[in-house]
């Protein structure tokens, strides 16, 4: 008669060996399914830079909405900052403080007065790899945006016919806030938009102070950081000839498009393409 205890013992002793064989087979199968040409970590595609957008006077971060939508769909992280519009140096310091919190490379973009802000904010910033100017000022040291706009700008007429001052007391002071009159928005600033959108631009505009518009710029970041400039040929706020002169002096890569001053709203695809071109080159 067979010993039941011995039979159970033999089964027990065989079980660990069977499990070990199964595990070995599974390991071989898993190894066979591994990609034959896996990409070493050192050769993995580099992460895309963060795009930081800075609006200009008489606008807010929402003016970038259509551009942001395109950049997001193309896989970019985007931050559109609130530009204080109080003083050029103070506005630049506010943007710089934010830049210092971003890990990794940055493409810094400015529209209109925002171009003057990024010119100052990025000076010496180690993570800013490209500057992009959209219908923007690119001042050199000692220049103000009022000075650069020049006599052909639609804003160079009698100030009382172009602007509303708050407080309304004349003469204005450096702290006086400057709004665009409705007629200025419709005829010069927001060209290319329909009447409804022009009314929204007028209703939601954020004012700059006279101090911000007249403060001299400091050492320009474009002297050491590669830059791109998108010039609106129909711009009457910063005439195209003025934009070309600034861009050529800065050594920017220049593209022109058939747009007025708010091309970021009327031609967002063209604006996004220039930003992505700068990002790809950084």
Contact indicator for 56, 113 with CB cutoff of 8 Å: yes
In tens digits, what is the pLDDT along the chain, a chain of 282 residues?
444 444 444 444 444 443 343 334 334 333 443 443 443 444 556 789 999 999 999 999 999 999 999 999 999 999 999 999 999 999 999 999 999 999 999 999 999 999 999 999 999 999 999 999 999 999 999 999 999 999 999 999 999 999 999 999 999 999 999 999 999 999 999 999 999 999 999 999 999 999 999 999 999 999 999 999 999 999 999 999 999 999 999 999 999 999 999 999 999 999 999 999 999 998
Dihedral, 68, 69, 73, 79 alpha carbons, nearest 10: 30
CA 70 vs. chain centroid, Å, equals: 12
Q: What is the pLDDT of residue 233?
A: 98
Burial (CB count within 10 angstroms: exposed 0-12, middle 13-18, buried 19+), residue 147: middle
Contact indicator for 89, 211 with CB cutoff of 8 Å: no
| Residue 39 vs residues 35, 43, 49, 66: alpha-carbon distances, Å | 9, 6, 21, 35
Instruction: Write down the architecture of domain 50-149+215-281 according to CATH.
Output: 3-Layer(aba) Sandwich (3.40)
Closest to 143 in 3D by CA, of 225, 254, 246 = 246
Q: What is the pLDDT of residue 52?
A: 98
Closest to 83 in 3D by CA, of 58, 104, 55 = 55
Q: What is the pLDDT of residue 241?
A: 98
CA angle in degrees (0–180, nearest 5) for 36-40-44: 115
Q: What is the pLDDT of residue 46?
A: 72
Contact indicator for 263, 239 with CB cutoff of 8 Å: no
Q: Where are the domains of the chain?
A: 50-149+215-281
């Amino acid at each position: 008669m067979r010993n039941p205890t011995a039979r159970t013992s033999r089964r027990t002793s065989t079980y660990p060996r069977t499990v070990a064989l199964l595990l070995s087979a599974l390991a071989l199968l898993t190894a066979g399914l591994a990609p034959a040409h896996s990409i070493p970590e050192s050769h993995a595609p580099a992460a895309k830079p963060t795009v930081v957008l800075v609006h200009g006077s008489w606008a807010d971060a929402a003016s970038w909405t259509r551009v942001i939508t395109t950049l997001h769909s193309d896989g970019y992280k985007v931050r559109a900052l609130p530009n204080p519009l109080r003083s050029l140096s103070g506005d630049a310091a506010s943007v710089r403080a934010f830049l210092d919190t971003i890990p990794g490379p940055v493409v810094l973009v400015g529209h209109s007065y925002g171009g003057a802000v990024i010119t100052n904010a990025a000076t010496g910033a180690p993570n800013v790899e490209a500057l992009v100017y959209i219908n923007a000022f690119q001042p050199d040291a000692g220049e103000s945006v009022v000075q650069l706009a020049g006599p052909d700008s639609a804003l160079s007429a009698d100030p009382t016919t172009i602007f509303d001052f708050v407080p309304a007391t004349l003469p204005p002071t450096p702290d006086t806030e400057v709004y665009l009159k409705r007629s200025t928005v419709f005829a010069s600033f927001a060209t290319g938009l329909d009447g409804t959108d022009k009314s929204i631009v007028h209703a939601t505009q954020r004012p700059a102070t006279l101090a911000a518009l007249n403060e001299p710029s400091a050492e320009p970041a474009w002297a050491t950081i590669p830059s791109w400039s998108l010039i609106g040929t129909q711009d009457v706020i910063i005439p195209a000839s003025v934009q070309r002169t600034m861009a050529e002096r800065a050594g920017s890569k220049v593209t022109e498009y058939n747009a007025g001053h708010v091309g970021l709203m009327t031609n967002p695809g063209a604006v996004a393409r220039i930003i992505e071109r700068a990002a790809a080159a950084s």
